[in-house]
Structure 1
């Protein structure tokens, strides 16, 4: 098998695995107002990817591009509150007919990982981003801290989706974030 054929096969396998789902999908938020969703979101808790499992001061920032994609900037300090700053810039692609609540998030071409906004507070102060595979989840807020009652309520939602909440990691934030 040639190198190109092998590479194309692997890319196809990775793309299909990124799209696989469980039998009971995570709910989708009813409607997302993209203009209100844009801006800075502090990661309060998450089931981390390998790249951010030691993140501090984690922040996702979104900006709606003229072509309809979402320019995303993910920053965090590695290993401690004052650790080296890491920055990633994936692109979000809003899926049609989902009321802006389902995106494909692309870190590397051509793979677009599922990014499902399953909950948004009516005032856009907190959100849950999840995946049907129940492998990753993020609780985010507009401030670096969250009221404990609200946090527990969001944990209950996540547990109801089928996630193992013992895998969740609270993300420490400086009172004056460095990013």
Structure 2
């Protein structure tokens, strides 16, 4: 099944939501992201998902640094169950100059770019929160498919402190595999 039409609509929603006025201040990105260290596998632990990933299982985001400094992104997940249809979405992260590599525009289709802010990054690069000023989508990710409950609770507390509606957060089912 092709996701092109769904992705185009999702991108349009992301862009229009980002253009809406918000009562909350802009998200403050982390000071610096070491891009080579940030590359690799990130398991989605929880999210306020976009329309096309709302039933994702085993969600995995993979980042690869391109020679020009952009980031090739591949999002893989199973639809609806651990045995569901495998879905793959590819996009490009374009790092915003002067942002310490912590703010990107993620482009699935030219010319549309969705905002991507590294709002929290654990010192050892094992956990991250990706946010948006619109507070419509967020992703809590880790280098492993599962994390301790105390870490999960602390990450969700950070998401809440950013101003996100917690009733929309979905814990993403992950099989306990490495």
**What TM-score do the two structures reach when normalised by structure 1?**
0.87
User: Which residue in 1 is equivalent to 2:170?
Assistant: 169
Runs of 5+ unmatched residues, structure 2: 1-11
SS of alignment partner, residue 58 of structure 1: strand
**Cα distance, 1:55 vs. partner?**
0.3
CA distance 1:45–1:54, change in 2 (3 Å): same
1:89-100 paired onto structure 2 within 5 Å: 89-100=90-101
User: Which residue in 1 is equivalent to 2:51?
Assistant: 50
Q: Aligned residue pairs: how many?
A: 167
SS of alignment partner, residue 90 of structure 1: strand
**Cα distance, 1:123 vs. partner?**
0.3
Output the CA distance in 2 between the equivalents of 1:14 and 1:167.
16
1:31-70 paired onto structure 2 within 5 Å: 31-70=32-71
Q: Is the 8 A contact 1:128 1:139 kept in 2?
A: yes
1:1-179 paired onto structure 2 within 5 Å: 18-19=18-19, 22=22, 23-176=24-177
**Cα distance, 1:175 vs. partner?**
2.1
Post-superposition Cα deviations, 1:68-116, rounded to whole Å, max 9, x if no partner, equal 1100000000010111100000100000000000000011110111000
**What TM-score do the two structures reach when normalised by structure 2?**
0.88
Output the CA distance in 2 between the equivalents of 1:118 and 1:96.
17
Q: Is the 8 A contact 1:58 1:173 kept in 2?
A: yes
Greater C-alpha Rg: 1
Runs of 5+ unmatched residues, structure 1: 1-11
Output the CA distance in 2 between the equivalents of 1:99 and 1:127.
15
CA RMSD of aligned residues (A): 2.0
CA distance 1:172–1:17, change in 2 (3 Å): closer
